[in-house]
C-alpha cells in the first residue's frame, strides 16, 4: 500500500511551520488538532457499540479478550488489558495483550517484527486461540502485516475479530467482523501516529473494555465494584464505593469490606440484603455478579 494515500501519513497543512512558531503557538496547534479526536471517535459509536455487544457475549461465555498489534498500537492494547485486573478483577488469563516482537517490544523497538505474518500466527498458536475468543487487532494505518495476519488467522479459527484503525478503507477493516476506524486526519508531525491516532485508539479501547465490564456486571450504578483493594489507595476507594452505593458510614463500610473478605460487591449485597457473606456470594454467583439483578430478585 502507498503510504502517501493513508490519512495517517499525509502532511498536515496547519503545522508545516511548527518548527518556527513560539512554544505557546506550538501547543495551541497541537491542542487544536487533539480536539478533532473526540469527534472522529463519535462518528464510530455505532461500530463501537456493535463491538461491545459482540465481545461481551463471547467474554461472558468464557472466551478471552486478546489485544494484538505492533509498536504504539500494540502497547495501547497491552495497557488496556493490564488495567482490567486491578480495576475489574479480570484475570490476566482472560484479557491480555500480544506485542509483535514479544514482551521486550513493550519497552524497546524490535526491528522487523511488525512485518512478520508468520510471527503473528505463531503468537496466537502459543496462546492456543479458540473459536470462543476475541481478537482485537490494533494498527493506526490498518496495513501492518503482523496485525493483518493475526486477524486473518483468528477469523479462520472462528474467533470474533475486531479491528481498531484510523484509516477507513484499510485491509484490517475488510477482514474484521467489526471494523472501527476513527479518521483523525494527518498528524501534527507527519506520520507520528502516537499522537491523534494513538489518542483515538485509546479512547476506543477504553470504551470497548469498559462497555464489556458493564455488560458483565462488574459495575454497579457507575461504581467499580470489582476493584481489587490491593493497596492503601484502593482500600480507601473500596470503602468509598461501599459508602456511595449504600449510604452507610465509612467506618461500617470498612467493617463490611473485611467481613466480605475484601469483596466490594459482596459487601454491598450484605448491607442491602442483611444476608451473610456466604449467602451474598452465592447470590452474586447465581446472577453473574450483577448486584442490580441480585437486589431486584430479593424484592
Q: Would you name the residues annotated as active-site residues? A: 83, 114
| Nearest one of 193, 199, 201 to 10, comparing CA atoms | 193
What are the beta bridge partners of residue 160?
134
Contact 123, 99 (CB under 8 A): no
C-beta neighbour count of 23 within 10 angstroms: 7
Tell me the three cell numbers of residue 40: 472522529
| Nearest one of 41, 90, 131, 72 to 214, comparing CA atoms | 90
Contact 170, 142 (CB under 8 A): yes
| Nearest one of 21, 84, 18 to 55, comparing CA atoms | 84
Continuous segment of H or E residues that includes residue 196: helix 196-215
Please list, in sequence order, all residues whose beta carbon lies within 8 angstroms of the beta carbon of residue 149, skipping any fewer than 6 positions away.
Answer: 116, 117, 118, 120, 121
Residue 217, phi then psi, degrees to nearest 5: 80, 15
Q: Helix crossing, 196-215 with 71-82: angle to 10°?
A: 30
What Cα–Cα distance (Å) separates residue 235 from each residue in 70, 229, 231, 261? Answer: 35, 4, 6, 12
Residue 198, phi then psi, degrees to nearest 5: -60, -40
Amino acid at each position: 500500500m502507498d503510504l502517501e494515500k493513508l490519512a495517517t501519513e499525509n502532511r498536515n497543512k496547519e503545522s508545516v511551520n511548527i518548527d518556527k512558531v513560539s512554544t505557546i503557538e506550538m501547543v495551541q496547534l497541537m491542542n487544536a488538532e487533539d480536539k478533532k479526536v473526540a469527534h472522529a471517535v463519535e462518528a464510530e459509536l455505532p461500530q463501537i457499540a456493535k463491538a461491545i455487544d459482540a465481545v461481551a457475549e463471547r467474554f461472558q461465555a468464557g472466551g478471552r479478550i486478546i489485544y494484538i498489534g505492533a509498536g504504539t498500537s500494540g502497547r495501547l492494547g497491552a495497557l488496556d488489558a493490564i488495567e482490567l485486573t486491578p480495576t475489574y478483577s479480570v484475570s490476566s488469563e482472560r484479557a491480555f495483550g500480544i506485542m509483535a516482537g514479544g514482551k521486550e517490544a513493550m519497552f524497546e523497538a524490535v526491528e522487523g517484527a511488525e512485518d512478520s505474518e508468520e510471527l503473528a500466527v505463531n503468537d496466537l498458536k502459543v496462546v492456543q486461540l479458540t473459536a470462543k475468543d476475541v481478537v482485537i487487532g490494533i494498527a493506526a494505518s490498518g496495513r501492518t502485516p503482523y496485525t493483518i495476519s493475526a486477524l486473518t488467522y483468528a477469523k479462520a479459527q472462528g474467533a470474533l475479530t475486531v479491528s481498531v484503525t484510523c484509516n477507513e478503507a484499510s485491509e484490517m477493516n475488510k477482514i474484521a467482523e467489526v471494523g472501527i476506524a476513527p479518521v483523525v486526519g494527518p498528524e501534527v508531525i507527519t506520520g507520528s501516529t502516537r499522537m491523534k491516532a494513538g489518542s483515538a485508539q485509546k479512547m476506543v479501547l477504553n470504551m470497548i473494555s469498559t462497555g464489556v465490564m458493564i455488560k458483565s456486571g462488574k459495575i454497579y450504578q457507575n461504581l467499580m465494584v470489582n476493584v481489587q483493594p490491593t493497596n492503601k489507595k484502593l482500600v480507601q476507594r473500596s470503602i468509598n464505593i461501599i459508602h456511595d452505593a449504600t449510604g452507610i458510614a465509612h467506618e461500617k463500610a470498612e467493617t463490611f469490606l473485611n467481613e466480605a473478605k475484601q469483596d466490594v460487591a459482596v459487601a454491598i449485597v450484605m448491607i442491602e440484603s442483611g444476608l451473610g457473606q456466604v449467602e451474598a456470594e452465592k447470590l452474586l454467583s447465581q446472577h453473574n455478579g450483577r448486584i442490580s439483578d441480585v437486589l431486584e430478585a430479593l424484592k
